[in-house]
């Protein structure tokens, strides 16, 4: 029996090292293959040769590769689409340029999905949820015509008495864009929204029921003339 040491690269995991006893190198490879069927790039050496330069180089390469994979997974899972757009826009609304809190932001499709627009980066920006819902399914030409006519005086609609505070994503904690984000409101859904709000249900809870963002719920309540009236009472 001989003692062999091995280094094997595992998909989506760090490189695995260990030792195994076998009569021959071929037998050792078969045992390792059975233990790690998903393994790749197996390096098998006698124990005395473990500290050799080629093996050390292979260890460093495998470790570096695993670290890169882990880093990519963190970035991919960390930021939601809305957080990423806000970060790239320096925490400001695409249209008015004002500093924007994540909870008041929304992903705007420049060319509406209902008019053939795509849900891709070249057609999406982060903006105030209020202007998103004010624009509705307005086409791209009308949106920019509206903004340009306002020149430097353009401001997105604001909820009365609510200040805007800058928030650029710092922690990777928030969930992805809500399922119904950007979809048009039906008459039935508006009635449900009014009923829930008038029953003093929390806005966060309403947002979960409608599968929309908190900012989107507030924007719709403003449009329906409810937030001012309810806040004053």
Across the range 123-137, mean pLDDT stands at 90
**Phi (first) and psi of residue 151, to 5 degrees:** 55, -140
Across the chain, mean pLDDT equals 77
Q: Which of 44-48, 108-112, 196-200 has the lowest mean pLDDT?
A: 44-48
Across the range 165-178, mean pLDDT stands at 45
What contacts 75, CB < 8 A, 6 or more positions away?
A: none
Give 137-155 pLDDT, tens digit per residue: 888 888 888 888 876 678 8
pLDDT at residue 43 tops 60? yes
Across the range 108-125, mean pLDDT stands at 90
Q: Which of 100-104, 114-118, 122-126, 158-162 has the lowest mean pLDDT?
A: 158-162
**Phi (first) and psi of residue 145, to 5 degrees:** -65, -40
pLDDT band with cut points at 50, 70 and 90 for residue 122: very high
Burial class of residue 205, CB neighbours in 10 A (0-12, 13-18, 19+): exposed
User: How many Cβ atoms from other residues are within 10 Å of residue 227's Cβ?
Assistant: 21
Helix (H, G, I), strand (E, B) or coil at 124: strand
Q: Which residues is 107 bridged to in the sheet?
A: 126
Which structure tokens are listed for 211? 């599968």
Give helix 203-210 / helix 214-223 axis angle, nearest 10°: 100
Which structure tokens are listed for 14? 């760090």
Distance CA 62, CA 8 (A): 8
pLDDT at residue 14 tops 90? no
Positive or negative, the Cα torsion across 131, 182, 126, 122?
negative
pLDDT at residue 130 tops 50? yes
Q: Which residues is 127 bridged to in the sheet?
A: 106
Number of residues that make up the chain: 233
Q: Which of 64-68, 181-185, 210-214 has the lowest mean pLDDT?
A: 64-68
User: How many Cβ atoms from other residues are within 10 Å of residue 109's Cβ?
Assistant: 21
Query: What are the residue ranges spanned by the domains of the chain?
Result: 2-78, 81-232
Integer CA distances (angstroms), 190 to 20, 187, 204, 226, in order: 67, 5, 16, 12
H or E element that contains 15: none
């Amino acid at each position: 029996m001989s003692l062999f040491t091995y280094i094997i690269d595992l998909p989506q995991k760090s490189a695995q090292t260990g030792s195994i006893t076998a009569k021959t190198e071929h037998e050792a490879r078969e045992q390792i293959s059975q233990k790690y069927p998903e393994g790749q790039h197996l390096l098998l050496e006698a124990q005395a040769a473990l500290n050799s330069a080629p093996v050390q180089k292979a260890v460093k390469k495998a470790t570096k590769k695993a670290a890169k994979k882990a880093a990519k997974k963190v970035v991919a899972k960390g930021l939601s689409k809305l957080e990423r757009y806000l970060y790239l826009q320096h925490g400001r609304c695409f249209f008015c340029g004002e500093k924007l809190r994540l909870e008041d932001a929304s992903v705007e499709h420049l060319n509406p999905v209902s008019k053939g627009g795509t849900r891709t980066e070249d057609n999406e920006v982060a903006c105030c949820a209020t202007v998103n819902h004010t624009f509705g399914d307005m086409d791209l030409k009308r949106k920019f015509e509206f903004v340009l006519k306002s020149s430097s005086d353009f401001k997105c609609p604001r909820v009365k008495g609510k200040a805007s505070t800058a928030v650029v994503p710092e922690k990777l904690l928030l969930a992805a864009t809500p399922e119904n984000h950007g979809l048009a409101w039906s008459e039935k859904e508006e009635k449900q929204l009014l009923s829930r709000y008038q029953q003093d249900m929390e806005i966060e809870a309403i947002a979960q029921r409608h599968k929309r963002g908190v900012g989107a719920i507030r924007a719709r309540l403003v449009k329906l003339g409810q937030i001012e009236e309810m806040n004053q009472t």
